[in-house]
Amino acid sequence: MSNNGQRAAVAGSAAGRVPGRRTFAIISHPDAGKTTLTEKFLLYSGAIKTAGAVKSRKQERVRSDWMELERQRGISITSAVLGLDYRGRRLNLLDTPGHADFSEDTYRTLYAVDSALMVLDAARGIESRTLKLFEVCREQSIPIITFVNKLDRPALEPLELLDQIESSLGLKPVPVTWPVGDAGDFRGVVDRRDGTLVRYNRTAHGAAVGSEETVPLSEVGEAEELLEELALLEAVGSGAGEDFDRESFLAGDLTPVFFGSALANFGVRLLLDSFVELAPAPVPRRDAAGRIRDLDEPFSGFVFKVQANMDPKHRDRIAFVRVCSGRFERGMRLVCERTGRVVATRHAQQLFADDRETVEEAYPGDVVGLVNTQGLNVGDTLFAEGATASPFPRIPDFVPEHFALARNGDSGKHKQFWKGLGQLSEEGVVTVLRRPEDGGQEPILGAVGPLQFQVAEHRMEHEFGAPLRLRSAPWTEALRLTSEKEALRLSEVRGTRIVRDGRGRPLALFEDRYWLRQALEKLGKEGG
């Protein structure tokens, strides 16, 4: 084969397409500016023309927060997938809910990414939600790049923010850029890699990309003061060059730090340019048996999210699949490892929030939406028909912390009621629990946070046409049981209620921690 032929073969292979892909999530505490930064990435990549008035190719309104309830409440409730192209790279951006009540959706999404962009509010630094999301990233060894946002408002000192990152997260912060000025006098950032100052001109509400001016520090009026600050950084071991160790970054022990204002577009281009260079491309993943599945092996992937009714006109159901190996082709036959059933892919789509288009092919790192594929659940592994391999590790689900008794608000909507609850349970919006002794007439809904109940009520009425009525339940603690033997041992214990989730797995519910401790003692387990 000629050299040109060899290059063409590599470019057409799965491994040959991977270096140009970046699959990542943006994580933050609520109100740190995550959604604003997401929108600015779309603006700078050319996916939209004006921030604040996001338009799709069909001139319909499109947002990362696509659900009606998200727009009403002004918070992210469910993860969104945004595919965009920038500087020859394919970026798969997974926008995650910031609110703690939707932790489970965020956790599932982080399972599907190769890196994360952590957004901090410069006035608040490390907050509780940031810490929890970071712990998930550390558990998955996900590399993190940090963006300190809102420098155009009153903020903590940059050195104090770096200290918080190191002391609270155990990450070594390496500032790549450094802010010049503060609050109303925020003028730009120094790119410490080449010793230049990038000045910005504001645009109305940051709706458009403003002009930028890059000048050497030697030509800056406040150069002496800036050089003193940069020298101090070097003295405390925060150099941008020699202190940046890529292996430590990829291992999740070090984070490059960028400063700016997403709302004003200050520092956004520098962040995006650097991100596509620093963030890792997809790498081979291990299956549940510990075997590394090479990128060029036959197609494999896993479902990390299921979502119904993204298109209210068609009442569709989409399974979001992270491609892990091989080349996906629309129309190919896949097999669900859990059920052995063949999955059709004729209606495969790539999504841009609530906008979508048919996808003909995809490669490792890409996210494919399989439409109306019944029977696929979160955590399912898919393989090309004829291929044999172990499944990928199952995505853990959370044990509910809040409970409510559910009742059908319209007896004439019995079918819609149970169909809606089943769909919300499959998506992980709520966990539907049944008590065998009552025939399931009044199911128990479990949730990580109480806002999930509000989402369930809204969606049951507006998407499934079945009003949901909830009343308080007496349980405050839950324990997932590992066997039927454990369920039998606890079934006669006072203060314990045995229930089953949608997959038939037993859980024990308790009215308070006292009864939970009693149950743990009976099972010979240690409790917190």
> Which residues contribute to the annotated binding site for GTP?
28-35, 95-99, 149-152
Q: Tell me the sheet residues that pair with 447.
A: 402
- Burial of 425-444, coded b for 16+ CB within 10 Å and e otherwise, reads bbbbbbbbbbbeeeeeeebb
**Which conformational region is residue 74 in: left (phi greater than 0), alpha (psi within -120 to 50 degrees), or beta?**
left
Give the Cα separation of 374 and 198 in Å (integer). Answer: 52
* Angle of helix 451-462 versus helix 414-427 axis, rounded to 10: 140
Alpha carbon 93 to chain centroid, angstroms: 8
* Rounded Cα gap, residues 3 and 6, in angstroms: 5
In terms of DSSP bridges, do strands 144-149 and 254-259 run parallel, antiparallel, or are they unpaired? Answer: parallel
Instruction: Please give the sequence-ordered ranges of beta strands (E in DSSP) within 99-162, or none if there are none.
Output: 115-121, 144-149
DSSP string of 94-116, one letter each residue: EE---SGGGHHHHHHHHTT-SEE
Q: Which residues contact 30 (CB under 8 A, 6 or more apart)?
A: 75, 98, 99, 129
Annotated binding site: 28-35, 95-99, 149-152
Contacts of 436 (CB under 8 A, 6+ apart): 498, 500
Strands (E), 183-341: 188-191, 196-200, 212-216, 254-259, 285-286, 292-293, 300-308, 317-325, 328-329, 334-336
Sign of CA dihedral 471, 477, 482, 487: negative
Phi, psi for 253 (deg, rounded to 5): -105, -10
Q: How far apart are CA 52 and CA 63, in angstroms?
A: 9
Q: Is there a contact between 384 and 298 (Cβ–Cβ < 8 Å)?
A: yes
Provide DSSP, 381-401.
Answer: EEEETT---PPPPPPP-PPP-
Contacts (Cβ under 8 Å, ≥6 apart) of 57: 355
* Beta-strand relationship, 292-293 and 285-286: antiparallel
Rounded CA Rg of the chain: 25
Residue 120 and residue 231 in contact, taking contact as beta carbons nearer than 8 Å: no
Q: Tell me the backbone φ, ψ of residue 229, rounded to 5 degrees.
A: -65, -45
Give the helix/strand (H/E) hosting 234.
Answer: helix 223-235
